[in-house]
Amino acid sequence: MTMTSISNKQLGEQIGRNAGSFYANDIAARLVYFSIQRGETEFTAHGAVVATTGEHTGRSAKDKFIVDDENTHDKVWWDNAKAMTPADFDTLLADMTEFLKGEDIFLQQLYAGADTEHRFNVEVYSPSAWHALFIRNLLIRPERGDLAGFEPNVTIVHAPGFKADPARHNTRTETVIACDFTRNIVLIGGTAYAGEIKKSVFSLFNYHAPAKDVFPMHCSANTSATGETALFFGLSGTGKTTLSTDPARALIGDDEHGWSERGIFNIEGGCYAKTVKLSREAEPEIFGATEKFATILENVIIDKDTAIPDFDDVSLTENTRTAYPLTALENVSESGVGAPPKTVIFLTADAFGVMPPIAKLTPEQAIYHFLSGYTAKVAGTERGVTEPQATFSACFGAPFMALHPTVYGEMLKKRLEESGADCWLLNTGWTGGAYGVGKRISISTSRRLLTAAINGSLRSAPMRTDPFFGFTVPVEMETVRADILDPRSRWSDKDAYDAQARMLVNLFIENFAKFGEVAQDLAEAGPKASSAA
């Protein structure tokens, strides 16, 4: 049998036959045991486990490839993806399976998708017990009785110790994440960063879902006691996980969802939250989850004597993480599904200090900001970043978008028209000046603004039109000081604020130009060049 013709099931059977020892669908407690016994992790004082990922402490976006075949050639957004030939993929697959021969292999059979109509049956094969625990925490765990007839339609081969050969496999480096969207096979080698596994599933979903009229979304979701759903789009560091984890609202999901004509559904069964500067006071639910047995802490430093995590220590990376199942939280949706949303929140962390803390968006403005996907990096988050830098990631998740962003923009437009959802832009960034001068908007202030947007009280608030960005901004509300709502008033040098705002407007305009004529009509909903003059 050639690698070209091998099915998902046959591939899995081959890996299992060639394994040293084979462990299928071990529960969390056994995976914790194996990870400790094998020296992969160590316990914290509370029974969570800590793992380190070595050289790679984040995604290796430049080492991700998609197989260019007759199905994907005219469909994939190649401006955003590197192509791999089917022959190179098959060589890589053969070499990787050969590399895993004789290794102990941990298999996890899991669901991706709470809606059974749009669900993937995912098999993940890894020689690492803690990575098996990670993906078990993150995806949806089938009932034991459902495993007997489990038929995979997605297979992920995870070999962190495997090193690709750029000359043989036509990769960029020894690290590779290769996705075959036709056969739904993913190969991950040369990196121990666990996020590559979960994001590969999302990449597959982003490619296939639109064909079934399902809008794939990089967002969190929660719901009220009366069933009113809210969505939270945002890039890393904007507060997506923090703000959607609310004791007063049931969490549907943390990071990845689909939106069909029936409503929204979680793709996952867990959370993968940032832990940098995590505190019990500011984020009690997430902090509490880090103290649960079998929660994973990734690249978090623990005290040698007490085994207590130090979430302020970022000596390994700013991108410290925790991975836990939704069951680690108190208030979660049991079904993982929700009604079409009443509220859609776009999150940004504006480090330039010029965007208001909240703004109301028209549907056209919502699509513009969805396609823009703006936030800002600050000094210290990445090597070489010393001043705030604007970041635009289409659809708030460009690295995972297999199709052109306007495909997803059209799907958002359709769903907003059907649902009539209110759309808001919530800025969790800096006020009173840019990063280094001003202060970051407090989580408590962001929560008060968010609550007012979701419960509808902001709809009747007096509004002004922002002269730079064109959206409407509340002038006053009971729970937030008026000067917080007007960022310009908090700058001592108003001319400096205006110059900074014009600079950011120009960055929006320059970024949106890359979408060309296909999105020209949407450009009218964004900041205008006249305001940047």
| Contact yes or no for 220/255 (Cβ under 8 A) | yes
Report yes or no on 14 lying in a domain. yes
pLDDT average, residue stretch 153-160: 97
The domain that holds 114 is classified in CATH as 3.40.449.10
Report yes or no on 47 lying in a domain. no
The three-state secondary structure class of 137 is helix
Position 1 confidence tier, pLDDT thresholds 50, 70, 90 = very low
Tokens 């705002």 -> residue = 501
Same domain as 356, residue 495: yes
Report yes or no on 49 lying in a domain. no
Cβ neighbours of residue 17 closer than 8 Å, sequence gap 6 or more? none
Same domain as 514, residue 372: yes
**pLDDT reading at 529 higher than 80:** no
Active site residues: 59, 199, 218, 236, 240-241, 255, 321
pLDDT average, residue stretch 240-251: 92
Cβ neighbours of residue 447 closer than 8 Å, sequence gap 6 or more? 243, 246
pLDDT average, residue stretch 455-472: 94
Tens-digit pLDDT profile for residues 257-291: 999 999 999 999 999 999 999 999 989 999 999 99
| Exposure string for 103-132, b = 16+ CB within 10 A, e = fewer | bbbbbbbbbbbbbeebbbbbbbbbbbbbbb
Domain range spanning residue 415?
342-532
Cross-strand pairs, 367: none
The reported pTM is 0.93
The three-state secondary structure class of 122 is strand
Same domain as 352, residue 203: no
The domain that holds 506 is classified in CATH as 3.90.228.20
Regarding predicted confidence, which is higher, 321 or 519?
321
Averaged confidence pLDDT in the chain: 93
Report yes or no on 239 lying in a domain. no
The predicted pLDDT at position 532 comes to: 52
Position 4 confidence tier, pLDDT thresholds 50, 70, 90 = low
Tens-digit pLDDT profile for residues 66-98: 999 999 999 999 988 999 999 999 999 999 999
DSSP notation for 16-80: HHT-SSEEES--HHHHHHHHHHTTS-EE-TTS-EEE--TT-SS--GGGEEEE--TTTTTTS-GGG
Q: Please name the helix (run of DSSP H) or strand (run of DSSP E) that holds residue 287, with its range, or none.
A: helix 284-289
The predicted pLDDT at position 7 comes to: 86
Report yes or no on 154 lying in a domain. yes
Phi first, then psi, for residue 345 (nearest 5°) are -110, 130
For 522, the token pair is: 């949407």
Q: Could you say which of 165, 187, 212 is where a domain stops? A: 212
pLDDT average, residue stretch 221-234: 96
| Contact yes or no for 7/96 (Cβ under 8 A) | no
| Contact yes or no for 296/324 (Cβ under 8 A) | yes
Q: Could you say which of 171, 195, 212 is where a domain stops? A: 212
Position 382 confidence tier, pLDDT thresholds 50, 70, 90 = very low
Cross-strand pairs, 83: 66
d(Cα 123, Cα 82) in Å, to the nearest integer?
25
pLDDT average, residue stretch 486-500: 95
The predicted pLDDT at position 530 comes to: 63
pLDDT average, residue stretch 137-163: 95
**pLDDT reading at 51 higher than 90:** yes
The one-character DSSP state at 311 is T
Position 528 confidence tier, pLDDT thresholds 50, 70, 90 = confident
**Spacing of C-alpha 385 from chain mean position:** 22
**pLDDT reading at 53 higher than 70:** yes
Distances from the Cα of 340 to the Cαs of 73, 149, 228, 332, in angstroms?
A: 33, 32, 8, 17
**pLDDT reading at 182 higher than 50:** yes
Report yes or no on 330 lying in a domain. no
**pLDDT reading at 180 higher than 50:** yes
Report yes or no on 221 lying in a domain. no
Q: Please name the helix (run of DSSP H) or strand (run of DSSP E) that holds residue 492, with its range, or none.
A: none
Position 489 confidence tier, pLDDT thresholds 50, 70, 90 = very high
pLDDT average, residue stretch 438-460: 94
Q: Could you say which of 212, 233, 255 is where a domain stops? A: 212
d(Cα 519, Cα 515) in Å, to the nearest integer?
6
The predicted pLDDT at position 524 comes to: 85
For 221, the token pair is: 């979701």
| Contact yes or no for 435/462 (Cβ under 8 A) | no
Report yes or no on 379 lying in a domain. yes
- Structural domain total, the chain: 2
Kindly report the length of the chain: 533
pLDDT average, residue stretch 154-172: 98
The predicted pLDDT at position 41 comes to: 98
Same domain as 346, residue 199: no
Between strands 82-84 and 263-266, the pairing is unpaired
For 331, the token pair is: 């208030």
